A and B are shown apart, each in its own frame.
Chain A
Amino acid sequence: MRKIGWLGLAFTPLMVQAQALNPAQYYLLAEQSRTAFTVQGAGARAIGTGGAFIAVADDATAVSFNPAGLAQLLRPEVSLVGQGVSRDLSLTGFQGQPPDQGTTFTDTWSKNTHARPTFASFAVPWKRNGLNYTFLLSYQRLFDFTATSAAAYQGTASGGSTVQNVAQQVRQSGGIDLYSVALGAELSSRILVGIALNDWAGRSGFQYGSTAQTSGVGVPFSSVLAQTSEFRGINANLGLIWRSQWLNLGVVYRTPFTASYTFTNSYSSVDSTSFVPTVQTGPQTTSKVNWPETLGFGFGLHPDPRLLITADWSHTPWSRAHYSAPGTPYDGLNWFDYQNPTATRDTTDVHAGTEWIAYLGDSVVIPLRAGAFREPQPVVDVVTGTQRVLQGWTTGFGIKFKDLTFDLAYKYAHDQRYVSRYNTDAPVGGVAATGLGQEGLTERSLYVSLIYQLDAEAVRRALAWTFIGGEARP
């Protein structure tokens, strides 16, 4: 059974020197570095309704949910979305498992916050033969890997009696960005179609730091495993919306694609006996990653023009996400768990929400929103087999004053599960400590959207002046 993982292959010099890494280590690393894998759009309005927007998609953020919705836009729009995340990770109640029953794990709580822009777009609609079309350029941070976490335990190295105090820190950064060009077209009163071509550009960094202080030894053993990866690919989102006065139905299909994947890593450590620092850098490896498709359905119900009830269902067969590198040992291995056959789960996300609109005079609109969601993640724990399933609720509101719309959404997501922890220093002399316990993850996110509707005639003239010159063509 081939269990040598991607990480190990990239880390060949180290493996020659030490033992081969336990596959569990790879799973762990993969899990920790790939925590946020919900393929979803952006926008505070959509998040406010639980993230359900496939059948609604009627503002400039539509491209990230369903490009068909762009055809509903009648005025040029500029939109900006920002997201702030507070992430709490707790590791509690861990107990050592054979052969590490003697290990004592310390309960730890890690908290990190960060904020960044996650979406920007410029949409220009126009009419031809009475039908509406919209062209859009956008940027979206689809996956954000920024996170830190910590763990600590006390144990005994395998075969020995010396007690070690181990402190671990994981620091991640980067993400996968989408640069999109999209077109939405109104085919009839009922049918809207859209396509978005996405350039996926990902870059991520991962550092796994470990410090092991052995009793009676003055200098702790410390190591840092650092990885960087780059990801690049192109796919298309195809969207369709059927609409009527009371009901909208939406379908979006994100095509599968093959991305180039470049991976480098290094391992630095200070030997606790010789005090010699060592830095080993693995070779840069380039491979292909086959990214699976995502299929989403949604409906939007308008029992009253002011009330929207909407829900989405999206399915991504993550079990098909695998490396494609013929002639290499990792060809066909899954991107998440390096096993063949994979233990990675396919995921089905469900989002649902509602929006109610209040009018203040002729120029102010105030929408109130609430929603709920369930977002299973693809990675499962290698020992317990549990899957991280983020569930939670959202709420939000907005203010539209004349041409400017401000939306705010709050998202609460939580997962509690029984997982394993593993000390990756084991192959190089650390404590081979496996523990099982409770992992609690809570994410609190704040989304802010600004959408500004521009004067169509002014935009048309500006575009004509820019690209045609002279007097704008009617």
Chain B
Amino acid sequence: MRRAAAVPVALCCATLAAQSWPTFFSAYLDGLDAQKRGDHALASRAFTRAIALEPQPGSRVKTYGLNFLPRYFPYLRLAESALALGDLAGAEAALDQSERRGAEPAPERAALRERLRRLRQPAAVPPAPVAPVAPPAPSAPAAPPAAISVPPAAVPVVVPAVAPAVVKPPHPAARQEPRHPPAPSPATPAPAPAPGQGSAPAPAPGPAPGPAPGRGPWRSWMLLGPAGLLATLAAILRRRRPAPAAVTQAGTPGLAFGPYTALYELGRGGCATAYFGRHRETGAEVAIKVPHHHLSQDPEFRARFRREASLGALLDHPRVVKILDPGPQEGDPWLAMAFIRGTTLEAFMAGKGPLPVPQAVAIASEIAEAIAYAHGKGVVHRDLKPANVMLGEHGAVVMDFGIARMLDGATATGTMFLGTPLYCAPEGVLGAKVGPPADRYALGVMLFEMLAGHPPFEADTLYRIFEAQRFDPLPDLAGIRPHTPPRLIRLVERLCAKAPEDRPEDPETLAILGGLRPSGQPPAAVPPA
């Protein structure tokens, strides 16, 4: 009897405990902390939660006891984080709300609107043949490297979705001469394919479907009419272009990181910069990831970065990008990881629509191998998404175990739409401790996306996506993609279960995917460009 009673009690407690940020001020203060750390994804979640609990902003807002918040401006803070994440639609929505509520300072709102306007401006006009900020459109001549220097104000938009962790191979030209990356000749009539997109078809000019057609922000921009259309077009073009600023911009040649020398910058995000480098003695190619200075100075971040990097370095599996050197235990942190030539799954899927079932199964199976191995070692990725999966000549490999979440700001910065939240498990949305099931959920979402051509939950704002992750049923994959094996559909549904305990364990996932994979099928290899 006691045991029987304990079950509902435990379930009740678990349900109650699953709630996160029970008070608006707790959420708001955590959001401020996250913003301070540069974790804008977390900050957005926290501010969204704060708004849900206390939508009215104001000054001197009482919290508990005799404590109060001198300034409770959640909409402005949310807009800031949305801007940092590149969620311009979300930022605009937050600013609109701020204006409607009226209690937040107008000058600050105006400044954010101006920042939003500046960020949108490049996207709203066709790129100039030699644009100081935007890279050339696919049909336009490429700009010389000197012209690609990025003004600081444009960094969040122009720096492409090249997370330091997502070490896309450099531009072909850059790869040939990494120390002095020559830009494509202005006379080059056709654009070079995106790095890592060698097998992807070259984007057609005009309003071709973007990498993620139908995603929230794109949709909302389209609703804005011609300007929105132009913005969408420009954004699509930016999404499909090579990563010019990251690849062709000369980095910090000769900068030493332990036994490695950074040769040029691969990408710069909100939290870290990634360099292409080589081992000084062996010449081995590496990607060096260096957290930004303001984070490096935070002892907490430093300790966590080292710990996660050291944990990641313990992983040695063909499906996991090897962390070769977790970096020094003292001083400014960095890490060196194997340099993988290929493309990210995100880039691979861009514009492709649904992948063939065997290919999706193969990729998913290889990702499942990686996470099963890591989970067996006690390491959880926590931010699994297509941008963290590299498709190389030996198939899919997963990057950034452990550290991805820390550098989420980096991976999200520059993306024109929501990155991580699309793959975030419901328990992650709630702020609860995420474990292996969260990785399985992300795998399920990715598998859905590969099969359906788009992620299951899309929306205009972070908040709506988070809500969808928590409450919306998974769209009917059988209806979207008829003739998909029912067993595969069932697997996706189980992987995307809202409750972590309802998701299949790794061995079962592997077994199902293995059973769906034709015998003798080669790895989901994507030959490098």
Stretch at the interface among A128-136, A160-168, A206-214, A271-279: A128-136
B53 in the interface, Cβ–Cβ < 8 Å? yes
Binary interface encoding of chain A residues 453-467 relative to chain B, with 1 for a CB under 8 A from any of its CBs, else 0:
100000000000000
Q: A132-B26, A188-B22, A189-B23 are in contact. Are A367 and B66 (CB under 8 A)?
A: yes
Interchain CB contact under 8 A, B304 and A72: no
CA distance in complex: A72, B68 (Å): 13
**Which range holds the interface residue count of chain B?**
20 to 34
Give the contacts of A108-157 with B (CB-CB under 8 A).
127-132
Q: A130-B20, A188-B19 are in contact. Are A305 and B61 (CB under 8 A)?
A: yes
Q: How far is the CB of B467 from chain A (nearest CB, A)?
A: 16
Contacts of A472 in B (CB 8 A): 300, 303
CA distance in complex: A423, B43 (Å): 74
A15 in the interface, Cβ–Cβ < 8 Å? no
B299 in the interface, Cβ–Cβ < 8 Å? yes
CA distance in complex: A144, B308 (Å): 55
CA distance in complex: A127, B26 (Å): 10
Contacts of A187 in B (CB 8 A): 13, 16-17, 19
CA distance in complex: A471, B30 (Å): 23
Interchain CB contact under 8 A, B64 and A72: yes
Interchain CB contact under 8 A, B62 and A132: no
Contacts of A246 in B (CB 8 A): none
**How many A-B contacts at CB < 8 Å in the complex?**
81
CA distance in complex: A292, B489 (Å): 62
Quick one: closest B residue to A308, CB to CB?
B62
Binary interface encoding of chain A residues 329-371 relative to chain B, with 1 for a CB under 8 A from any of its CBs, else 0:
0000000000000000000000000000101001101010000
Contacts of B432 in A (CB 8 A): 129-130
CA distance in complex: A455, B140 (Å): 56
Contacts of A365 in B (CB 8 A): 66, 68
Interchain CB contact under 8 A, A359 and B303: no
B29 in the interface, Cβ–Cβ < 8 Å? yes
Q: A189-B22, A405-B66 are in contact. Are A74 and B29 (CB under 8 A)?
A: yes
Q: How far is the CB of B57 from chain A (nearest CB, A)?
A: 13
Q: How far is the CB of A125 from chain B (nearest CB, A)?
A: 10
A59 in the interface, Cβ–Cβ < 8 Å? yes
Interchain CB contact under 8 A, B70 and A362: yes
> Which of B25, B65, B68, B70: most chain A Cβ within 10 A?
B65
A435 in the interface, Cβ–Cβ < 8 Å? no
Contacts of A474 in B (CB 8 A): 300, 303-304
Q: How far is the CB of A369 from chain B (nearest CB, A)?
A: 11
Give the contacts of B62-87 with A (CB-CB under 8 A).
62-68, 70
Quick one: closest B residue to A304, CB to CB?
B62
A400 in the interface, Cβ–Cβ < 8 Å? yes
Q: How far is the CB of B37 from chain A (nearest CB, A)?
A: 11
Interchain CB contact under 8 A, A132 and B431: no
Interchain CB contact under 8 A, B431 and A188: no
Binary interface encoding of chain B residues 418-436 relative to chain A, with 1 for a CB under 8 A from any of its CBs, else 0:
0000000000001111000
Contacts of B62 in A (CB 8 A): 305-306, 357
A239 in the interface, Cβ–Cβ < 8 Å? no
Interchain CB contact under 8 A, A471 and B29: no
CA distance in complex: A131, B22 (Å): 7
Q: Which of B16, B26, B303, B304 contacts A188 (CB 8 A)?
A: B16
Contacts of A128 in B (CB 8 A): 433
CA distance in complex: A189, B20 (Å): 8
B373 in the interface, Cβ–Cβ < 8 Å? no
Q: How far is the CB of A427 from chain B (nearest CB, A)?
A: 56
Q: How far is the CB of A76 from chain B (nearest CB, A)?
A: 13
Contacts of B294 in A (CB 8 A): none
Q: A189-B53, A474-B304 are in contact. Are A398 and B431 (CB under 8 A)?
A: no
Q: How far is the CB of B125 from chain A (nearest CB, A)?
A: 43
Q: How far is the CB of A473 from chain B (nearest CB, A)?
A: 8
Contacts of B16 in A (CB 8 A): 187-188, 191
A58 in the interface, Cβ–Cβ < 8 Å? yes
Contacts of B117 in A (CB 8 A): none
A186 in the interface, Cβ–Cβ < 8 Å? yes
Contacts of B65 in A (CB 8 A): 58-59, 72-73
Quick one: closest B residue to A403, CB to CB?
B67
CA distance in complex: A74, B303 (Å): 24
B293 in the interface, Cβ–Cβ < 8 Å? no
Q: How far is the CB of B235 from chain A (nearest CB, A)?
A: 33
> Which of A74, A190, A362: most chain B Cβ within 10 A?
A74
Contacts of A45 in B (CB 8 A): 66
Give the contacts of B1-37 with A (CB-CB under 8 A).
13, 16-17, 19-23, 25-26, 29-30
- Excluding A45-B66, A72-B64, A367-B66, 18 further A-B contacts by CB distance (< 8 Å) are A74-B26, A127-B30, A128-B433, A129-B17, A129-B430, A130-B19, A130-B30, A130-B431, A187-B13, A188-B16, A190-B22, A245-B54, A305-B62, A357-B62, A362-B60, A365-B66, A365-B68, A471-B303
Closest 6 pairs (CB-CB, A-B)? A130-B20, A130-B431, A189-B22, A362-B70, A187-B16, A58-B65
Interface residues of A (CB under 8 A from B): 45, 58-59, 72-74, 127-132, 186-191, 245, 305-306, 357, 359, 362-363, 365, 367, 398, 400, 405, 453, 471-474
